[in-house]
Amino acid sequence: MHDVNWEPRIVAFFCNWCTYTAADLAGVSRLKYAPNVRIVRLMCSGRVDPQFILAALAGDADGVLIGGCHIGDCHYVEGNLKTLRRFQMLKRMLAEFGIEDQRVRLEWISASEGDKVRSVINEMVEQLRPLGPLALRQQFKDWDREIADGDPVSATPAAAMHETEAAHA
Amino acid sequence: MEHSPRQIMALVRADFKDEVLRSRSIWLCASCYACTVECPREIRITDIMYALKQRAILEGIYPKRFPIPILAKEFFKMVHSKGRITETLLVMRLFLKANWRAVLSSWRQGIGLIRTGRFVLRHERIEHRAQLAAMLDSDVRHEPGSASKEAA
Amino acid sequence: MKYAYFPGCSLKGLGKAYEESLLPVMERLGVELVELDDWNCCGATAYMSVDESKACILASRNLALAEKTGSRDLVTPCSACYLVLNKTKHYLKDSPEIRESVQRALDTAGLQYSGAMPVRHPLDILVNDVGLDVIREKVVRPLTGLKVAPYYGCQVVRPYATFDDAWNPTTMDRLLATLGAEVVPYPLKTKCCGGSLTGTLPDTGLRLTYILLKEAVRRGADVIATICPLCQFNLDAYHDQIARQWGPVPIPTVYFTQLMGLAFGLPESQLGLNRNFVRMKPLPAIPAKA
Amino acid sequence: MKTNLSNGEIRIGFYICHCGHNIAGVVDCTAVAHEIAGLPGVVVSRDYKYMCSDPGQELIRNDIREHALNRIVVASCSPLLHENTFRNAVEAGGLNRYFFQMVNIREHDSWVHTNRAEATTKAVALARAAVLRVRFHRALETTRVAIHPDVLVVGGGIAGIHAALTLANAGKKVYLVEREPSIGGHMAKFDKTFPTLDCAACILTPKMSAVRANKNIKLWTYSEVAKVEGYVGNYTVSVRRKPRYVNEELCVGCQECIEACVFKEGKYPDEFNVGLSKRKPIYIPFPQAVPQVVVIDRERCLQLKSGRCKKTCIEACADRHAIDFAQKEETLEIKVGNIIVATGFRLFDAKRIPQYGYGLYPNVVTSIELERLVTSSGPTGGEITMRDGRIPQSVAFILCVGSRDFRTNRWCSRTCCMHSMKLAQLVREHTGADVTVFYLDIRAPGKGCEEFYDKSLKDGIQFVRGRVAEVTDWALTPEEEGKLVIRAEDTLAGVVRRIPVDMIVLAVGMEPQADSQAVRRLFNMSCGSEGWFLEKHPKLAPVSTFTDGVFIAGCCQGPKDIPDSIAQAGAAAAEAMALIDRGYIEQEPNTAYVVEEDCSGCKSCLPLCPYTAITLDGETHKARINAALCKGCGTCVAACPSGSIRQHLFEDDEIFSEIEGVLTHA
């Protein structure tokens, strides 16, 4: 069982035009939500490279939240459609890793939906609590030890991820 | 009606508990739900009235011989023991407890009911009375009006 | 078409005539109503005032019994039953606390309820499942010239108005017109009849009843058609008291199913019309078939 | 070249802003500054009361000089608010403006959290991320794009008219596009305006004529914007011109054709009189219409419908030859630098509240219908009559119909209180009828408005506070026979009242236009859930949108009265002019670029770009990005399989270091 003081940590990638602005609006409206999210601003959710998500998870984030404009409302016409397609592929891959579905989430939040920022973040934090820490870093260590001990079977996908992490650490 | 529904809401909000529970207004609600579908703030007034009635019965705050809570209680008892309601018997019971003189004043109506074959004197009852009683008894009492509060 | 049928206490007592007219009319239209075995009181409005969760337990036993029959829908003619059964469905969905109490009670009795079965009113069944065209075909004695004030009362249309508008319902208007009757505009069609207040606080309750009767008379109606046993009782049984207090407002109030029965050519004696305090004038004899 | 640390030692200055109590009330700013001071490369770490103030900026400038700083991080409010302020300060201090990173610890931290420890931890994490990130920042040049000087104004109501005139008077060329056959909008239908009771036509008509006379304004009525492409300074707009079957250049507005139409009487509901009068298939919307050009209703005209008409209109037009049944819809393309959207509102449909009997009882009318009845140029010549021609003895107004109501519209429509009081005064003046106004709250905050309310009270208008439950015709007493009865709780008297009256006026509220969603998409704007267009900042940028070069004015942004609409229109015109007169805009250099040696020429990026900024070089077989076309979304960057596409300001290493920064445990 994990540490009782453990709090889920979420890295969020928000597009500049809709979701980041919505988060600003949540602030201006003084809505209160869980302090577990760290927002990284990008111009468009289309900029979210799957590697960012992997790097966040490998860096011991417990969840990743991506926020973009509603379909049809993208500031760059259809960047969010590209995000959606990429996201669906990534989800399949993460499932292969054994990473729970709730840990990576994509939400369309328009500039006026400050309240949705609040509810999505609160909901996600609550969904991550029962899952406990992802602790990929520790897992990598364990897997490394297994490789050292000569058991390569369980290490294959994670090793690829580890490289990614190492490259950007 | 001493307080309009709007005034009842305002009194509840301002925490005038006694005034609200002693008000005849909450008993005057006949549950037609007109206010509920009408309210521009989508307040479920009828359900709140129910919650207030439950509270008043629970705390025993209502006028003596006031017929509505008596009807509610008699209704409750009859269902508990028979499973069904026999309206004519229920009304007689109510009149006896609340105001026996009323029985005299509505004798014409009683005769009318007998004449039209609607005066039922035999208790309607269900077969599995014990089952129903067990179901009702399985319910431990909790705060009245909890459902309407949540839903509101 | 086959439906589970919950008559409710009133239809076995003061509202006998409702059942007496409903069943043959439905039969004439090929609708089979199968009465629930050992149903209990729905709880009505009175029970809600005492204990909400117990009221829901009462209703849930009936809902569970209905589901056990495997029927598609549960039909109930009484407005209070219709409301309480639907309300219980909603509460079970929205309130975890009620859900828990009800589940415990159902477990006690070894019953199950999924919450899926719709609870519907005969008016809904007649107009939306059977259809006005089918009904029109069965009319042998059109109610031509009969001016009817359609009175819906409260609890079928509010707050769970699933098949009609909460303020200005028209289902019964259309049905009555199909029978050949002349439907008079009746703005009070969803106003409260006083409910149980006519008995408990007559000063308040009877005034509401009086207003309904007076306006129907003012509109030139011959008869008020109703869909609820309590409404029928209130509008029918207090003419003496009302006349003493405000003057006479002589107009009969009958169930819409009674008017259907008349239009279908069913004998008046079998439709419970003789149970009224204020009797409806007999219709002209059935015209000879051309 | 993975990192950019080669150009000498990194010297970072970190500043955390208290923002008075806004940040410091929740975040321990001193602790954050202390924590950040320990990070590698951080030379200066300070907290200060107001970083955006002059002394705050001075602090940055001085430190750059004194401590030879070459990277600046400010933790304060949202970058959408003050990023430019601090970039300017950095530039003034002698650094490239992009050696700067901002941390949002107000909107995203202190304003949304309450626990001091948690909020402080979050602030440290966000600040650390920025400090790690800023090390990778590079010197970038801002690019300039020329602004096309012409402006498109969409919507010819009072807001659009005022914006167009303001720009045209300053010598700018304006295209004014209006959907209806005439400009004028809702205001043209009004009789008088509150609170001064000056005649609406007297103040609007001169402005409409000025539009027609102004050589700088190209007026296209009966037209709609069909397509918008491009970006601030360089929009290409397609305008669809519906056929009116009358040549605008040739028609002189003599209206002889209308007289000559085979329909001797009006037959179809007149839109301008909201259906209170009838018009012919050939008509002019109203006497003061601009342009003074006839229009033919294609759905109603015999010739257009069946081709079998005597065409008496053409005879009447004689040698002017203005009528042209062969006219076709045409689409015109224009280039503009800025767009002002002033598409207005629509009125709430009173039928949605059946309790008030609109459509059921003939003498229940809406406020705009009464407005037409009051007007001397209206269908009754200014006489307030009921449908049977009688003059009402008693009139009631019901306020907030379709406003402040969770079941319909939650917002206050802002004008109905004043509008109804104006109409109430006019009703008293014209008929001497008893007037009762049912209200929830009287909202009269404008200049002279509360005084107008006082005057209404003194004039003997009755005010009853309470939302009306229903309007009905069932009568309880002889006095109620033949009347409409209002049932309402008088919340001041504490009683439920029944008030019989002859006529009832529903003060219907304002709603977004039915096609507001389509229009919003057309111009790439945002709108709130209710459908009003969203301004960039509710206080600081009330007429800007999130799309540069697109401005909003008037009621499309939310309900407002005429003075407010005009103020916004002027503001939008000024914003557009500020861009035009500068002549160029500075673009964020956040464009994507290709590192040629890494590009494999796989072409997977080509279809991703909605602006066709990416092409394949025919000779080198490598992708090439046209920086002038690139908008900087970064979608291609994320998709490039070889990692050869990069994005300025959002480089991979910048983002990776930000991710690392937010996740590093303290």
Whether residue A134 lies within 8 A of chain D, CB to CB, comes out as no
Would you place residue B146 in the very low, low, confident or very high pLDDT band (cuts 50, 70, 90)? very low
Q: What is the CA radius of gyration of chain A?
A: 17
Chain A CB contacts of D115 under 8 Å are 35
Partner D, chain A 99-118, Cβ-Cβ below 8 Å: 110-113, 118
Answer yes or no: is B152 within a domain: no
Interacting residues of B6 by C-beta distance below 8 A, sequence separation 6+? D489, D491
Tokens of D210: 């000025």
Q: Is residue C287 assigned to a domain?
A: no
Dihedral, CA atoms, D294, D298, D304, D305, nearest 10 degrees? -150
Residues whose CB is less than 8 angstroms from the CB of residue D38 and which lie 6 or more positions away in sequence, other chains included: none
Domain carrying residue B58: 5-62
| Contact list, D404 vs chain B (CB under 8 Å) | 40
Same domain, C214 and C162: yes
Same domain? C186 vs C241: yes
Domains D12-141 and D347-510 share a fold: no
Query: Domain boundary residue among C58, C93, C120?
Result: C120
- Within this chain, do residues B71 and B40 fall inside the same structural domain, yes or no? no
Out of C167, C211, C214, the one facing D354 most closely (by C-beta) is C167
Task: Give the mean model confidence (pLDDT) for residues A126-136.
Answer: 91
- Between CA C157 and CA B30 the distance in angstroms is 15
Contacts of range D516-522, beta carbons closer than 8 Å, 24 or more positions apart:
D516/D343, D516/D556, D519/D341, D519/D343, D519/D556, D521/A72, D521/A73, D522/D225, D522/D227, D522/D228
d(CA C232, CA C220) in angstroms, rounded, equals 19
How many whole angstroms separate alpha carbon D344 and alpha carbon D155?
A: 7
The 3 state secondary structure assigned to D20-65 is: CHHHHCCCCHHHHHHHHHCCCCEEEEEEECCCCCHHHHHHHHHHHH
Task: Decide which of B62, B78, B110 is a domain's last residue.
Answer: B62
Residue C286 lies in a domain: no
Residues C206 and C85 in one domain: no
CA B142 vs CA A153, B58, C128, C209: distances in Å: 57, 11, 41, 37
Question: SS3 for A73?
Answer: coil
Residues of chain D where predicted confidence (pLDDT) is lower than 70 = 1-7, 666
Orientation angle between helical segments B67-82 and B87-98, nearest 10 degrees = 140
DSSP state of D641: T
Instruction: Please give the backbone phi and psi of residue A101, each rounded to the nearest 5 degrees, phi first.
Output: -55, -40
Please report the pLDDT score of residue D390 as a whole number.
94
CB-CB contact of D238 with D332 (8 Å): yes
Domain encompassing residue C46: 2-120
pLDDT at residue B141, as a whole number: 58
Q: What is the rounded distance in angstroms from the CA atom of residue D322 to the CA atom of residue D247? A: 5
* Short-list C45, C83, C39, C79, CA closest to C61: C39
Is B50 found in the same domain as B18?
A: yes
Angle at D140 between CA D135 and CA D143, to 5 degrees: 155
Is residue B45 located within the same domain as residue B82?
Answer: no
Q: What is the CA radius of gyration of chain C?
A: 19
Pairing of strands D495-501, D484-490: antiparallel
Worst-scoring range by mean pLDDT, B73-82, C182-191, D101-110, D455-464? Answer: B73-82
Kindly provide the residue ranges of all beta strands, DSSP E only, lying in chain A, ordered along the sequence. Answer: 10-15, 37-42, 63-68, 104-108
Sequence-ordered strand ranges (E) for D392-537: 394-401, 434-439, 462-465, 468-472, 484-490, 495-501, 503-508, 510-512
Q: How far apart are CA D296 and CA D300, in angstroms?
A: 8
CATH code, C103: 1.20.1050.140
Q: Of B36, B62, B88, which residue is a domain's last?
A: B62
Taking one residue from A and the other from D, the number of pairs with CB-CB distance under 8 angstroms is: 142
Q: Please give the structure tokens belonging to residue C204.
A: 């308040």
CB atoms D354 and C211 under 8 Å:
no
| pLDDT at A2 (0 to 100) | 65
Rounded (5°) CA angle D651-D653-D659: 110
A39 touches chain D (CB under 8 A): yes
Q: How far is it, in rounded angstroms, from Cα D368 to Cα D288?
A: 19
Residue A162: both structure tokens together: 């580890």
- Residue A64 in 3-state DSSP? strand
Q: How far is C289 from chain B (nearest CA, A)?
A: 34
The contact set of C with D (CB < 8 A) is: 165, 167-168, 187-188, 211, 214-215, 218
Which positions ≥6 away from D66 have C-beta within 8 Å? none
Residue D666 pLDDT: 52
Determine the pLDDT at residue A151.
53
Give the CATH superfamily of D347-510: FAD/NAD(P)-binding domain (3.50.50.60)
What is the pLDDT at residue A159? 46
Question: β-strands D503-508, D394-401: how paired?
Answer: parallel
Last residue of a domain, one of C71, C92, C120: C120
Closest to A45 in 3D by CA, of A118, A110, A128, A115: A110
User: Would residue C283 count as lying in a domain?
Assistant: no
Do the chains contact at A118 and D106, CB–CB below 8 Å?
no
Q: Is C105 on the interface with B (CB under 8 A)?
A: yes
Bridge partners, C3 (sequence order):
C33
Structural domain count, chain C? 2
- CATH code for position C172: 3.40.50.11810
pLDDT in tens, C272-287: 999 999 999 888 766 5
Alpha carbon of D561: minimum distance to chain C alpha carbons (Å): 34
Name the band, by pLDDT with cuts 50, 70 and 90, for residue A154: very low
Residue C175, CA atoms < 13 Å, CB-side half-sphere: 31
Residues C141 and C271 in one domain: yes
Is C53 inside any structural domain? yes
Residues facing residue D586 across a β-bridge: D144
Residue B9 belongs to a domain: yes
Q: Which fold has domain D12-141?
A: Rossmann fold (3.40.50)
**B50 plus B84 within the same structural domain:** no
What is the predicted pLDDT for the residue at D499? 97
Answer whether residue C68 is part of any domain: yes
Instruction: State whether CATH 3.50.30.50 applies to domain D151-242+331-344+513-582.
Output: no
**Residue whose entry in the numeric block shows the structure tokens 């990778």:** D136
* Shared-domain flag, residues B94 and B125: yes
Question: Which of D404, D494, D496 faces B40 most closely, judged by CB atoms?
Answer: D404
Q: For residue range C64-84, what is the model confidence (pLDDT) as tens digits?
A: 999 999 898 999 999 999 999
Query: Residue D405: which of B4, B7, B40 has the nearest Cβ?
Result: B40
Residues C114, C173 within the same domain: no
B2 touching D, CB under 8 A? no
What is the pLDDT, as a whole number, of residue B103?
59
pLDDT of residue C286: 62
Helix (H, G, I), strand (E, B) or coil at D162: helix
User: For D145, what's the count of Cα atoms within 13 Å in the CB-facing half-sphere?
Assistant: 21
C186 and C221 in contact (C-beta within 8 Å)? Answer: yes
What tokens appear for D541 in the block? 């940028």
Q: What's the token pair of residue C105?
A: 């009670």
Per-residue model confidence (pLDDT) at position B100: 60
Chain C partners of B37 at a C-beta cutoff of 8 Å? 158-159, 161, 166-167
Contact D484, D472 (CB under 8 A): yes
The reply to whether C186 and C97 lie within a common domain is: no
Our CA-based measurement puts residue A44 at a distance from the nearest CA of chain D, in whole angstroms, of 5
* Cα–Cα distance for residue pair D253/D181, rounded to 1 Å: 13
What is the amino acid identity at position D563?
P
Q: Maximum distance among all alpha carbons in chain A? A: 56
CATH of A10-134, one of 3.40.50.960, 3.90.226.10, 2.30.130.10, 3.40.50.10860: 3.40.50.960
Q: Are residues C171 and C90 in the same domain?
A: no
CATH number listed for the domain at residues D592-647: 3.30.70.20
B44 and B95 fall within a common domain: no
Number of folded domains in chain B? 2
**Chains in contact with chain B (at least 3 beta-carbon pairs closer than 8 A):** C, D
Instruction: Say if C263 falls within a structural domain.
Output: yes
With an 8 Å Cβ cutoff, are B42 and D404 in contact? no
Q: Which letter does DSSP use for residue D527 in this model?
A: B
Q: Which of B36-45, B107-116, D116-125, D409-418 has the lowest mean pLDDT?
A: B107-116
Q: Among D404, D406, D489, whose Cβ lies nearest the Cβ of B4?
A: D489
Q: Does the beta-carbon distance from C187 to D354 stay under 8 Å?
A: no
ipTM: 0.81
